[in-house]
Amino acid sequence: MSEIAVPGAINFRDTGGLPAGPGRTRAGVLFRSGELSRVAAEGRRALAALHLRRVIDLRADDEVGQAPSALDGLGVTTQRVPLFLGSVASFFADDLSLEQMYRHIVDDAADRVVDVVRGVLADQPVLVHCTVGKDRTGVTVGLTLAAAGVDEAAVVDDYARTEGMLPARRSHAVVSFLRTQHPEARHLEELAMRSPAPVMRGLLDDLSRRFGSPADYLRAGGLTDDELSELRRILVEEG
C-alpha cells in the first residue's frame, strides 16, 4: 500500500500490496482518498496517470454542493453513494463516538455499502472517497478488503494509517472551528481526526459475531457468492 501524490487531494493512497492469505492485493486497482474539490491541473494530471474508470463519492448532497469534485476532462464515471442517512453535522451535535457512527453506517446503510462494493466490481481502477477519507471511506473500503480475503490485521492497519496522513494544520483548524459549534462534545476530536486501530478491529469483530464474517454481512445485504468471488479475483493476486 502506498501514498500517492495527487496535488490538492488528501489521504490519497493505493490499497495494493496488502497481505491476503497466500496472496496480496493488486496495485493500481482500488484507491481511496479525501475529497477532490481542490485538485487543479497538476492534480488532474496525476489522477489521469492512474487511468481511473470510476470514482465513488460517499458524501451527502450538501457536501458535494459546497465542494464539487474537480474531475473535468478525466472521462471517469462518478457514482454517488451518500452513506450517511443524516447530516454530518448531526454526528457532532449528537456527540456520537466513532463506534456508534460506524454501527450507524453498517446497520442503517447496508444497501449503500453493498452499492459501493458493486461499484468496485463494475469498473477498475476505482477510487472511493468521502470528505477526508477516514470514516465513510474507512468503513466501506475496510469491509471491501475484508470480504475479498485481506488479512484482518492489514485491514485494520490500512484504516489506522489515515490519522497520520491528515495534514496536522488542517485537522487542528477543523477541530477549532467545530469546537465553536459544539463546545461540550466529548467525541469531537475523535470524530474529526482520529482513526484508532481498535475501532476498526471492533467493527470487524462485531460483524463477525452478528453475521459470521464481513463477507456474510455483505451477503445479508444482497451481495451474491459470485460477486464475492469476483471481488477477490479483481483485488487479490494469489500467491
Q: Count CB atoms within 10 A of the CB of residue 113.
A: 23
Q: For the residues 47-54, what does the mean pLDDT come to?
A: 97
Compute the chain's Rg from CA coordinates: 17
Model pLDDT, residue 239: 77
Q: In what order do the strands lie in the sheet with 54-57?
A: 2-3, 13-14, 30-33, 126-129, 54-57, 77-80
Instruction: Give tens-digit pLDDT for 111-126.
Output: 999 999 999 999 999 9
Domains in the chain with CATH codes: 2-237 (3.90.190.10)
Q: Is the pLDDT of residue 17 over 90?
A: yes
Model pLDDT, residue 199: 97
The Cα angle at residue 226 between residues 222 and 230, in degrees rounded to 5: 110
Q: In b/e form, how buried is each residue of 179-214, taking b as 16+ CB within 10 angstroms?
A: eeebeebebbebbbbbbeeebbbbbbebbbeebeeb
Dist. CA 54–CA 147, nearest whole Å: 20
Model pLDDT, residue 94: 73
Residue that has been written with the C-alpha cell 462485531 in this structure: 206
Q: Is the pLDDT of residue 179 over 80?
A: no
pTM of the model: 0.93
Q: For the residues 90-94, what does the mean pLDDT come to?
A: 68
Q: Count CB atoms within 10 A of the CB of residue 107.
A: 9
Model pLDDT, residue 165: 87
What does residue 45 show for φ and ψ, rounded to 5 degrees? -65, -40
Q: Is the pLDDT of residue 37 over 80?
A: yes
Q: Shortest CA distance to 154 belongs to which of 33, 5, 23, 54?
A: 23
